């Protein structure tokens, strides 16, 4: 049965859900408050990471395999593969980071993913861009890569038009009626549908205040780095780097496909307003740079090229929330900054769940990684 479905939010979650719904034969309309792609959206950046290592979170490590297959279906539809393989190098020195590495190894081996544990000497020999003196151990996976996020969102939004999806840019939603599956726009129009999906990112608590008890907007600053002379090309062939130490950890994205090298902090601020707190403070950017320098060989030679602010939603356990608000409305909140890699799989799962009570009952736990 063909349904009329409204999707609120044209970030990667909203767009991937619209893609999956349209492929299932539904009539879909997407509404976003800004232009599409929206430069203030959490999804619109040069890159996001795809990885299998998730510590003890076996649910998300397993979901990464499902997501990889979903991305393959999306690449076929888009006619372009926008995942650059890099491999994954994880390091740690502190107790919590080393425990995360050990848990990752246990889970990955149980799922049949080859993983190598590395000593500092092995890291120094194989990955000289990393300061082996700054880490106690590491693990390496051949899997993993860099998703060209901005290009994906742009190309996907255009592809949806070919699927018959109507994407309404600069059409802010001001109110949601979950029971009736209606939205009210800033121009006071009310749009009805058979079903409604709310994928509003960090703005969800403004549209649905009742979610504020569980979903917290989190302002995150990322730093774009300038590597030393002659090393950009070397880094473009290097694995993504994830230093898992909780208080000082950092992730580093290699400058693949003409992008800029990037670093970010694992910690969540759990503060900020996505409409106002957009400008990164120089001290925040320097803090991220210093975290990256700590684990990079010759770290003092890396400089700050630029910085940007992203907003995510975060739950206490950093799990995703995909659950019904009513018989006709679903909430989709990809939390904690790592949702991008799972977007096609979550979109397909939600498309399957709409109209199928059996799948609908299983989806919240699966999406939360349980």
Once rounded to an integer, what is the mean pLDDT over residues 305-313? 90
| Among the listed residues 82, 103, 244, the one whose alpha carbon sits nearest the alpha carbon of residue 148 | 82
Write out pLDDT tens, residues 216-254: 888 889 999 999 999 999 999 999 999 999 887 899 999
Cα 227 from Cα 246, distance rounded (Å):
24
Is 53:145 a contact under the CB 8 Å cutoff?
Answer: no
Give the pLDDT of residue 293. 96
Cβ neighbours around 232 below 10 Å, total = 14
Is 126:279 a contact under the CB 8 Å cutoff?
Answer: no
Strand 195-198 with 329-333, pairing: parallel
For the chain, the domains span 4-45+150-213+317-367, 88-142+216-314
Write out pLDDT tens, residues 51-92: 999 999 999 999 999 999 999 999 999 999 999 999 999 999
* Global pTM value: 0.95
Hey, what CATH topology would domain 4-45+150-213+317-367 get? FAD/NAD(P)-binding domain (3.50.50)
Once rounded to an integer, what is the mean pLDDT over residues 177-189? 97
Once rounded to an integer, what is the mean pLDDT over residues 248-261? 94
Is 216:203 a contact under the CB 8 Å cutoff?
Answer: no
What is the average pLDDT score of the chain? 93
Once rounded to an integer, what is the mean pLDDT over residues 307-336? 88
Write out pLDDT tens, residues 92-120: 999 999 999 999 999 999 999 999 999 99
The yes-or-no verdict on residue 355 having pLDDT over 80 is: no
The yes-or-no verdict on residue 335 having pLDDT over 70 is: no
Phi, psi (degrees; rounded to nearest 5) at 318: 60, 25
**CATH number of 88-142+216-314: 1.10.3470.10, 1.20.120.450, 3.30.950.10, 3.30.9.10?**
3.30.9.10
Give the pLDDT of residue 336. 64
Lowest mean pLDDT among 130-134, 270-274, 287-291, 344-348: 270-274
Beta bridge partners, 314, equal: 216
Once rounded to an integer, what is the mean pLDDT over residues 137-142? 97
CA 320 to chain centre: 11
Give the pLDDT of residue 337. 67
The yes-or-no verdict on residue 367 having pLDDT over 80 is: yes
């Amino acid at each position: 049965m063909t349904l009329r479905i409204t999707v609120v939010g044209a970030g990667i979650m909203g767009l991937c859900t619209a893609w999956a719904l349209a492929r299932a034969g539904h009539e879909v309309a997407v509404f976003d408050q800004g232009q599409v792609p929206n430069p203030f959206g959490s999804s619109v950046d040069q890159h996001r990471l795809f990885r299998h290592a998730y510590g003890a979170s076996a649910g998300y490590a397993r979901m990464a395999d499902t997501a990889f297959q979903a991305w393959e279906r999306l690449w076929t539809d888009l006619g372009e593969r926008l995942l650059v393989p890099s491999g994954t190098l994880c390091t740690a020195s502190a107790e919590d980071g080393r425990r995360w590495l050990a848990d990752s190894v246990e889970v990955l081996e149980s799922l049949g993913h080859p993983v190598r544990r590395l000593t500092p000497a092995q890291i120094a020999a194989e990955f000289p861009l990393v300061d082996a003196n700054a880490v106690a151990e590491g693990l390496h996976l051949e899997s993993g890569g860099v998703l060209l996020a901005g290009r994906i969102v742009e190309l996907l939004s255009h592809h949806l038009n070919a699927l018959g999806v109507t994407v309404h840019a600069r059409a802010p939603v001001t109110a949601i009626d979950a029971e009736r599956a209606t939205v009210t726009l800033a121009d006071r129009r009310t749009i009805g549908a058979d079903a409604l999906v709310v994928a509003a990112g960090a703005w969800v608590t403004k549209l649905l205040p009742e979610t504020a008890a569980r979903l917290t907007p989190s302002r995150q600053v990322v730093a774009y780095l300038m590597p030393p002379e002659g090393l950009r090309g070397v880094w473009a062939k290097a694995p993504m780097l994830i230093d898992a130490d909780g208080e000082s950890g950092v992730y580093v994205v290699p400058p693949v496909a003409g992008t800029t090298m990037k670093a970010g902090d694992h910690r969540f601020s759990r503060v900020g307003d996505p409409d106002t707190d957009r400008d990164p403070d120089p001290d925040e950017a320097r803090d991220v740079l210093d975290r990256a320098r700590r684990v990079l060989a010759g770290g003092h030679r890396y400089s700050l090229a630029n910085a940007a602010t992203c907003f995510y939603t975060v739950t206490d356990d950093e799990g995703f929330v995909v659950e019904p608000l009513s018989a006709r409305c679903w909430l989709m909140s990809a939390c904690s900054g790592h949702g991008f890699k799972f977007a096609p799989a979550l979109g397909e799962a939600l498309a399957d769940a709409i109209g199928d009570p059996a799948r609908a009952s299983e989806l919240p736990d699966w999406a939360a990684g349980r």
